Each structure stands twice: as C-alpha cells, then as structure tokens.
Structure 1
Amino acid sequence: MTWSEMQPLLEQACWDTLYMVGWSTLIAVVGGLPLGILLVLTDRGGLLQNVVANKVIGQIVNIARSLPFIILMVALMTFTRWITGTTIGREAAIVPLAVGAIPFFARLVETAVREVDHGLVEAVQAMGGNTWTVVRKVLVPESMPSLISSTTTTVVALIGYSAMAGTVGAGGLGDIAIRYGYQRFETQMMWITVAILAVVISVIQFAGDYAARSLHRRGAHSGPAPKLRLLKAAS
C-alpha cells in the first residue's frame, strides 16, 4: 500500500480517535468530578458524612472499574443501541468509553481532593461558608493541578481504550491497525498507527504536565494567607 493510499485512511482514523476520546473525556469529567467529590464529602469526617452512602457509591465505582473494557463494551450493547441507535461506529464507541472512564476519573478526583489542606476548609467554615462554598472556593481550586494531571491520565487511558474499541468496528486508529495491519498483513500500516498513537499520547502528556506544573507553582507562590483573604472576600 502506497502513502497516497494510506494518508486519507490515517487522517480519518486520527479524527475519529480524537472525536471519540474528546467526547468521552468531557462526559467522564462532567460525571466523575462530582462523583469523586461526593466520595470525599460523604466519608468519615467529611462535610456530608454518610458512611452507608459512601460505601455504596464506592462499591459501585469499584465494580465499574474492575470490568475489562472489552467486556464492558459487550455488556453495554443494548444501552448503547438505545442511546445512539447502533452499536458500531465512533458515536457508539463513546458510550462504553465514557461509562468506563467515569469511575476511573472519579477515583483520581477523590485522591486529588483529599490532598487539599484541611486548614483552608476549616477557615472557610469559620467564615460562615457552607458545603457548596467549600467545594467551589477550596476543594476544586486547590486541587486543580492534581485534577489536570488526573484528566491527562484519563485521556491517555481513553486513547488506549479507543484503540481497543476499533477491534469491534468503532473506527479510529485501532480499527486501521486491525483491518490493515493485522488482517491484511500491512505491517507498515500497523507501525505507522503505533507511531501516531505514541506521538499523540506524548503531546497530551506534555501539555497536561506543563499545565499542572504551572498551576502548582502559581499556587505555591501565593501562599496560604493571600488565599484566605481571597476566600474571605469571595464569601
């Protein structure tokens, strides 16, 4: 297969992969962020302490995370068809990708939020701030560098999942690698897709690490006192 024949296939596959990963990441963040924060708030000593609710939510998250992605795709076929009208193609792949990523991201959010200085939380409570104020003014902003790193990790994982989804007709680079690199013995196509995936992952990892470090340095330079003044003014 010549380059002129491979180029349009690879370009479309790249766009399909970015489309699937982009939408599934957005859904994972929208669903996983509040779920991860809720796991922290309902834990022992949390602002909304509810041990039973925490255990139930945590168990659901653990079960969802334990399912291999290929099994999750098969298990969600009926749900995927109900949502998208089909089980094949990039739109259909977004459903299991997002469902699999939400609990994964939620646990990363939980870890990030737990790292926030509890003294800032107590300070905002002393100023009369309610739970929503603590979440909006302390937990999310203070954990933002870790949240960006968590998002980067989720995106990288979703790229791998999207390649796996290509084995069942979801499209993208994984589909190209299987159909041409494996089934048609086009070894060159296989290695080109591997190289493209490696480059895309490296760029995303670099951008995420850079953004997280920049926010971390900015927060470290501001110190706790200016933060408390800003929080007091905001409340």
Structure 2
Amino acid sequence: MESKQNATNVEVLNALSEIKTLDGKFAQESDKIKTLVGNFAQESVKHKTIESKFAGESVKIKTLEDKFAEKSVNIRTLESKFAQESVKIKTLEGKFAEFGAITKNLKRQVADNRRKVAITACVSSSASYFGSVTFSNVQTQIGIHNSAAFKSNGKFVCEIPSLYYISAYIRTSTKNSAFYLYKNNKQISRSASGSGTYTDVPISAVVELQTNDKLYVQVYHSVFATNSCVTIAKIN
C-alpha cells in the first residue's frame, strides 16, 4: 500500500511539475502574444500614418495633375492665340508687301510723269514713200532710248504711258495728196496737199499712248527733205 501511495505522489508531483512547466510556457507565450499585439498596434499606427501620408501625397498628386491639366489648357490657348497672331502677321506682311508694291509703282509713275520725252527730226533726203515717213535726221531728243529704231523706220515707240502731242510738216510737189497720222495700225488724223507746185502740209494730233504703242506719219507720194519734219512730245 505504501509503495502505491508513493507512486501516486510521484505522479502528482510530475503532473504538478508539468503544469508549472506549461504555466511557464503559457506565460512566455502570453508575453510573446502581448509583444506581438504591441508590435501589431505599432505597425497599425505606422500603417495608418503611411495611409495618411499616402492620402496626403495623393491629394498633392491630384492637385499637381489638376495644375498640369490647367497649364496644358493654357498652353493650348497660347498656341491657338499664337497661331492666330501668326495669321495676322502673315496678313500684315502681305498687306505691307502689297503696299510696298503700290508705293513702288506710284514712285515709278511719279518719276515717269516727271520724265521729259520729246523728239524733233527731219527727212534727210527727198524720196517717194509708200508707208511711214523716215525722219532720220534727229534735231532734238530728250528721254528717248529707241531713237535708232525711230531713225530707221520713222515709228516712235512709246516707253512711258502718257498723253502725247505730234506735229508734222511735210513738203511735197504731189498735188491734192493725203497725209496721215497713225497710232499702231489705226488712223488718228489726216491732211492733204494743195494744188500748188510745192505745198507744206501741216498735220497734228494729241493722242494717249501706252507702252509699245507706235506713232508715225504715213504717205503715198513724194516728200522733200526741205521743211519735212516731225515733233513728238509727252505733255502729261
């Protein structure tokens, strides 16, 4: 009986020892759990702090995005205005170029209006003509650049558009013969010789000429060198 009782006591003691050991382990685990709970609480605080900072940064990012979008709109607006101004500048440049051309043309017209143009020439030798009379003996010329052509065929070629006066005196022995002034191929004036042996026939006209228009005296009979002359002058 005593041996059984001892065995029971030993078992009880062992059980108590195991319980104490378990209590110790439980206490350790409890401490660990408390430590973990504390760590978790700290991490939770950190997490909330991070979330708060993230939310703040998100707000900043959203603000920056809004500002960027606003700047983008402003840039597009400026680009549109710049494009409009570029069109205006090109329009002004075109008008300025047009104005410059008009000014240049006006200056040329003023210079042409001030330019003196006149020629007086006579027939160098008696001859019979069947067309334009050649006045190869030039007495006076002012502002004429094509006098060589005029002397060869008697046709005055207009260089400056304006109003011109032409006057000619033709001496002939051909009675009752006609004399003509022509502009290009169109008759603009006529006269005729008398019935005498020698006749000095005057003929004149005022005519508007454009560049390259031709002005000349045309006859179909004899012309004497003496007193047969023509004068052409720009009068406007």
Q: Which bracket does the TM-score occupy, shorter chain normalised?
A: under 0.3
Q: Which structure has greater helix proportion? A: 1
Q: Which structure has greater strand proportion? A: 2
**Greater C-alpha radius of gyration:** 2
